[in-house]
Amino acid sequence: MESCSLPASFDLGYSRFSSTSEQEKRKILEDRNRKSTNKAIQGMLRIINEYIEDKNLPELSNTPDAELPNLLESFYSDVCYKQGERYKLQSLKYIRAGLNRHFKETRKLDIISDPLFTESNEMFKGVVKQTCKMGLGSTISFPVIPDEDMIKLGDYFEQDFSGKVPVNP
């Protein structure tokens, strides 16, 4: 069988590999998260930036990495809603996760597992414990369904409708 080769000067007019600009690379990195994730991260940043402004601290972007643990330690112990109520446990976890994602992406820092953040993480654990003691550890989305209503539901779903439209009892 004869092999086919193209002359070295033969140009197909395209390359197998593209040339992505730095701006396009940044856009790819920015768009890798879902819009809802980016929106959530921005919300968490808004909370810590409001805290920083309230405490007259340097902007987050101007805070050196070495000072972040102290900032977070204070933030975890002080953070609450604008009305002064404490956040529930799940909200605290979401705030911390959003901040962690932000710092991983912007500073390559993991505020949850990096040893630099041991003391701030101990404070977070203490706040979690305090939050649970205050009764803010669990979230109840819906009231409990009474037993008699559960029986009605069970009876309803055990019926054989055989194409009939169910009638309310």
Per-residue pLDDT for 162 more than 60?
no
Per-residue pLDDT for 152 more than 90?
no
How many whole angstroms from its chain centre is CA 75?
A: 17
How many C-beta atoms surround the C-beta of residue 72 within 10 A? 22
pLDDT score recorded for residue 6: 47
Helices (H) and strands (E) in the chain, counts: 6, 0
Alpha-carbon distance 130 to 121, whole Å?
14
Alpha-carbon distance 71 to 79, whole Å?
12
Half-sphere exposure at residue 99, Cβ-oriented, CA atoms within 13 angstroms? 24
Query: Which one-letter DSSP state was computed for residue 7?
Result: -
Whether the full predicted model's pTM is greater than 0.75, yes or no, is no
The band of 7, judged by pLDDT with boundaries at 50, 70 and 90, is: low
Domain ranges for the chain:
24-138
How many C-beta atoms surround the C-beta of residue 109 within 10 A? 17
Q: In this structure, which CATH number among 3.30.160, 1.10.8, 3.40.30, 1.10.150 belongs to the domain 24-138? A: 1.10.150
Per-residue pLDDT, averaged over 50-56, amounts to 96
